[in-house]
Structure 1
């Protein structure tokens, strides 16, 4: 890792656009929570089981944790995205280093934004359940989250292996 060159690599338009969409959705979720705060009951869903059903109720103040965790994830993963020389690679060589750095940066960008969007959705849906506008997250939430995340990992791993 110490002998990997640092390279200045421009972020793609896709990465910048995905960040923008994610941040707008995140801010909309915060604004939604602020507007709905007075209508929320004192106890809101605090945890869901694998089927998306509420299995623990907690204080409405716990809702603040979801956007805080999402913001931390976004900041940390954005920092790591900007340092591809710190990432783990297989078959890294002089001929493919720029592609591998770009691929790894884009992978982190996609995972970062997916996580924040899922946290934002979870945050929104929890408010909906607390207000009685929804019964649960739905049985599809967990498989969709896992499927999209693993699908992204597989896609970028295949790209990496093809360009060794």
Structure 2
């Protein structure tokens, strides 16, 4: 889109797949909100491999590897041509900012309602158990800067 600028992103959204979690990223521009696939072969392989070999401990290790991998992928996606990134996966979604009805965010989940559709994901947040400033507050600030009172922080 013309004159489109990335204003922020939310990385490490999670929905569940058959074998490993599906990782998503939200990229927010001054014109639209994009929900993009952020899975990569390495994070999916790590998740399955570590879980198989080391059980619950392995799942934790795989999750930490995947979080870093997804953050790197999100940063890269936000610098690419967004229309190309959008077309790279049939599950990717773009929503015009004026069509967003509400965004409800907690330390565990994010729910985006737009034009009668609901997109709900787990939020794999690195500071989920901390109090005070952190990644979560940064997400809220970014969302409120664009969507104002449509953002409901819990």
The structure in which a higher percent of residues are strand is 2
Q: Same fold by TM-score, threshold 0.5 exceeded?
A: no
TM range (shorter): under 0.3
TM-score (norm 1): 0.26
The structure in which a higher percent of residues are helix is 1
Q: Which has the higher contact order (CA 8 A, sep 6+)?
A: 1
TM-score (norm 2): 0.28
